[in-house]
Amino acid sequence: MTEQGKFTRALVGLSAVVIAVCAVVVTIKVVGNHPQGPLLDQEAVERQASATARSTAKGGMSRDGVFCPTAIEAKKGIKFECDVYVAPGQPETIKVEVVDDQGKLSMSKL
């Protein structure tokens, strides 16, 4: 019986170590995951970049030939660039800055 008791104590001790390691791993994963805030509407950003590059009203522009980064957070101060192909092989770069946390944008040609 003493051999069985030693084995049981060793197994319980090992189980406690495994559970502690798992708890540490889960804690690190949860702390490391930063929830992302709201994202900009990709379609709206591309339409506005198209309108800025082509100097037309915002509403009527096609998104064809517009390439902007995806999954941009609507957070004040974030800056990025979009390429708008006005004519084949002639990209125009549009500088974009998020003006407020509601997703208002400022765009200008480079």
At 90, which amino acid appears?
Q
Domain count, the chain: 2
**What are phi and psi for residue 25, nearest 5 degrees?**
-60, -45
Residues 5, 47 share a domain = no
Residues 97, 60 share a domain = yes
Residues 49, 82 share a domain = yes
First-last CA distance in the chain: 82
Residues 46, 94 share a domain = yes
Model-level pTM? 0.63
DSSP alpha helices (H): ranges in the chain?
2-32, 42-54
Residues 68, 49 share a domain = yes
Task: Give the C-alpha distances (Å, rounded to integers) separating 25 from 11, 14, 63.
Answer: 21, 17, 44
Residues 88, 66 share a domain = yes
Q: How does pLDDT run across 35-88, given as a tens digit for each residue? A: 678 999 999 999 999 999 887 544 446 788 999 999 999 999 999 999 999 888
**What are phi and psi for residue 20, nearest 5 degrees?**
-65, -40
CA 17 to chain centre: 36
Domain boundaries, position 2: 1-34
